[in-house]
Amino acid sequence: MAGTISMKRILASTCLLSALSAGHALAAECSISIGRVVPITGPLADVTKDTPWVDENKIKPINDAGGLKVGDELCKINYKIYDSKSTVAGSADAATQAILQDKVDFLIAQGTPDTTNAPSDLCERNKIPCVVTGVPIEAWLLGPDGKPKEYKYTFAFYFSVGDLVKNHLGMIKALPGGFNGKIGYLYPNDADGTVFAKIFDPVFKQEGWTPVDPGRFQQGLPDFSSLINQFKRNHVEVVTGVLAPPDMQNYLQQAAQAGFKPKMYIIDKGTGYPEPMAALGEAGYGLLSVNFWSPAYPGNSTYGGYDGQTLVDRYEEATGKPYVPPLGYDDASYDVLLSAIQRAGTKDRDAVLAALKTTKLDTVDGPIAFNSQNYSVQPLAGAQWRFDEATGKIVKETVFNEVYPSVKKTGEMKLYE
């Protein structure tokens, strides 16, 4: 495939570039090296499909103009992509390689807790300023007993589960035709499932609703029929959960076979990307989920000056593929880092760290400003998958924006059919 080949070529050339620059570290010339840890191979590779397009889009214009103005100097920016292999161990290797072998000045890590958390910890140990995104704030911040970790060198921005709760609660309350209070859970026993169940359960109970919780299950559960019977027996009207695409399809098929049709499905994770939804076919129309980034988000990129829509248009034109939501975050993570370096006026780590703390930046994800725990919560909105008869494709429409009214609505919420 053309995309893969060009990606490899760019990867190779950047490798070469940074190898050369590492070899000739001329003191006179200013250069900044940024390591970017992302899953290139393995099951999570979908999450960062926009790599390395997004890097080229951001860095090339700056380098073409002579470099980034840092203090009085123009600094060339070298980025290098490190493959996390979609595993925790792989992301630790990648970060170690970036820090110890290539001695990068800064690190960016993106895409699910499995990719971001090991680099975060390693940045703390090696005292490297690090920006992470693509990980819900709580999954990055909280330890197993719910206590927040203390990060000094790592900064995160993404949506928070707290906002997600508000969003889902609002969507259920806005259910057209009222709600009988019976809510079914589909939470697996993976990282997302356990965290979501822990956070959502008390909130739903507080609303006076009756949860029907079959319990945590392992991904790849062969049979959902006993769960579905439990939902049916208890007259569940709303089903909510976090399902990976294969589980989502398996569940929806078995629900259809059993003739179980709730008024509303709110399913996260599997609903994030267009391809698995297209694979679902009609069963996917009307599924509700969260929109954690879309071109409808407010704000402009500080480096490049474009808004979300322009970014998406450029991406789709260059690659011929539909955009993926992490695009906005990947773009903004460079903005955060570049702005901090510029404001520090040097690439000295302590100075950049201080500048990162006082970040106040407009990005395609909306404004970013880090709090005392080093994170910034970005907007989210409720979304629904629809079949667009005009184009014959499925689209994700923003149907609920009460939590962040700055994200524009593109349609009205409908019942699941």
Partner 1 sequence: MTTEDFYWALIDLANGLMTGATLGGYYALISVGLALTFGVMKLVNLSHGDWLIVAAYLAVVILGLYPVSPFWVLLPLVPMMFVIGYVLQRGLLNRVSTFAVERRGLSPIMAMMLPLLITFGISTVLSQALQLVFSTNAQTIRNDYSFSAIALSQDLSISTLRLGFLVLAAVLIGALALFIQRTHIGRAIRATSDDAEIAALMGMRTAHVYGVASGLSLMFAAFAGFMIGMSRSFQPFDGPPYLLTAFGVVVIGGLGSLGGCFLGGIVLGITQVLAGTYFGPAAQQLAGYLLILLVLAARPQGLFKR
Partner 2 sequence: MDLSNLSAIGAPPVTTNASKSAPWRIGALVLLAALVIVPLVVGTDSYIVHLLMTAFIFATLGHAWNLMAGYGGMLSVGQQVFIGIAGFSEAILIYYAAAPLVAVWIFAGLVPLAFAALLVAPMGIRWPLRRSWALVVFFCLVAGYEIAVTVKPELDIFGDNFTRRAFLLLFLFLGGLPLLRLRGAHFAIATWLIAESVATIFSGWPLAGAGGGMQVNADVDLLTLYYLALGLVAVVTLGIFLWMRSTFGLALMAVRDDEDAAASSGIDVMRIKMSIFLISAFVTGLAAGLYFMDAMIITPASGFSISWSSYVVFVVVAGGMGTVSGPLIGAIVFVVVDRILGQMSGQGQLVLGLMSIALMLLLPQGLAGLFGRSMRRRTHLIPFLRSPSISGEGQ
How many residues make up the chain in this entry? 417
- Comparison of 41 and 309: residue with beta carbon closer to partner 1: 41
Is 50 a binding residue for partner 2 by CB under 8 A? The answer is no
Instruction: Return the one option of partner 2, partner 1, none that residue 76 interacts with (CB less than 5 to 8 A, by type).
Output: none
117 forms part of the interface with partner 2 (CB under 8 A):
yes
CB contact at 8 A, 206 and 173: no
Binding test (CB under 8 A) with partner 2, winner from 20, 25, 65, 89? 89
253 is an interface residue for partner 1 by CB under 8 A: yes
The window from 119-127, 153-161, 168-176, 358-366 that contacts partner 2 (CB under 8 A) reads: 119-127
269 neighbors 243 (Cβ within 8 angstroms): yes
Tell me which residues in 191-220 interact with partner 1 (CB under 8 A): 214-218, 220
Looking at the Cβ atoms of 94 and 403, the one nearer to partner 2 is 94
Residue 45 binds which of partner 1, partner 2, none (CB < 5-8 A, kind-dependent): partner 1
Residue 373, number of CB atoms within 10 A of its CB: 13
Residues numbered 68 to 87 that lie near partner 2 (CB under 8 A) are 82-83, 85, 87
269 binds, among partner 2, partner 1, none (CB under 5 to 8 A by kind): none
Find the binder of partner 2 among 76, 166, 198, 343 (CB under 8 A).
198
Q: How many residues bind partner 1 (CB under 8 A)?
A: 44
Compare residues 87 and 359 and give the one whose CB is closer to partner 2.
Answer: 87
Burial degree of 320 (CB within 10 A; 0-12, 13-18, 19+): exposed
**DSSP label at 300?**
B
CA–CA dist 306, 68 (Å, integer): 18
Tell whether residue 218 is a contact of partner 2 (CB under 8 A). yes
- 3-state SS track over 196-262: HHHHHHHHHHHCCCEEECCCCECCCCCCCHHHHHHHHHCCCCEEEEEECHHHHHHHHHHHHHCCCCC
Partner whose footprint covers residue 406, from partner 1, partner 2, none (CB < 5 to 8 Å by kind): none
By CB under 8 A, is residue 41 in contact with partner 1? yes
Residue list 91-110, contact with partner 2 (CB under 8 A)? 92-94, 96-97, 100-101
- Does residue 46 touch partner 1 according to CB under 8 A? yes
**Looking at beta carbons only, is 219 or 253 nearer to partner 2?**
219
Nearest distance from residue 302's CB to partner 2, in Å? 31
- Smallest gap from Cβ 395 to partner 2, in A, equals 31
Question: Residue 195 interacts with partner 2 (CB under 8 A)?
Answer: yes
Nearest residue to 385 (alpha-carbon basis) of 297, 305, 307, 284: 284
1 is an interface residue for partner 1 by CB under 8 A: yes
Angle at 16 between CA 13 and CA 22, to 5 degrees: 140
Distances (CA, A) of 222 to 213, 226, 258: 18, 11, 16
Q: Per the structure block, which two tokens stand in for 304?
A: 């490049």
**Rounded distance, CA 194 to CA 404, Å?**
26
The nearest distance, CB 106 to partner 2, in angstroms, is 17
Residue 54: strand, helix, or coil: helix
Contacts of 314 (CB under 8 A, 6+ apart): 57, 306
What distance in Å separates the CA atoms of residue 107 and residue 294, rounded to the nearest whole number?
Answer: 25
What are 106's strand-pairing partners? 34
Burial class (CB in 10 A: 0-12, 13-18, 19+), 327: buried
Is it true that the peptide bond before 262 is cis, omega within 30 degrees of 0? no
Q: Is 215 in the site for partner 2 (CB under 8 A)?
A: yes
Token pair 């988000």 in the structure block, residue: 297
Please tell me whether residue 222 binds partner 1 under the rule CB under 8 A.
Answer: yes
* 6 contacts partner 1 (rule: CB under 8 A): no
> Binding partner 1 by CB under 8 A: which of 275, 313, 316, 348?
275
| DSSP state string for 5-32 | HHHHHHHHHHHHHHHHHHHT--SSS-EE
Instruction: Specify the residue, 87 or 294, whose C-beta has the smaller distance to partner 2.
Output: 87
| Binding positions for partner 1, rule: CB under 8 A | 1, 4, 41-46, 49, 189, 214-218, 220-227, 229, 232-233, 245-246, 249-250, 252-254, 256-259, 273, 275-276, 279-281, 283
Name the site residues for partner 2 (rule: CB under 8 A).
8, 11-12, 15, 40-42, 82-83, 85, 87-89, 92-94, 96-97, 100-101, 113-114, 117-118, 121-122, 125-126, 139, 143-145, 149, 188-195, 198, 215-216, 218
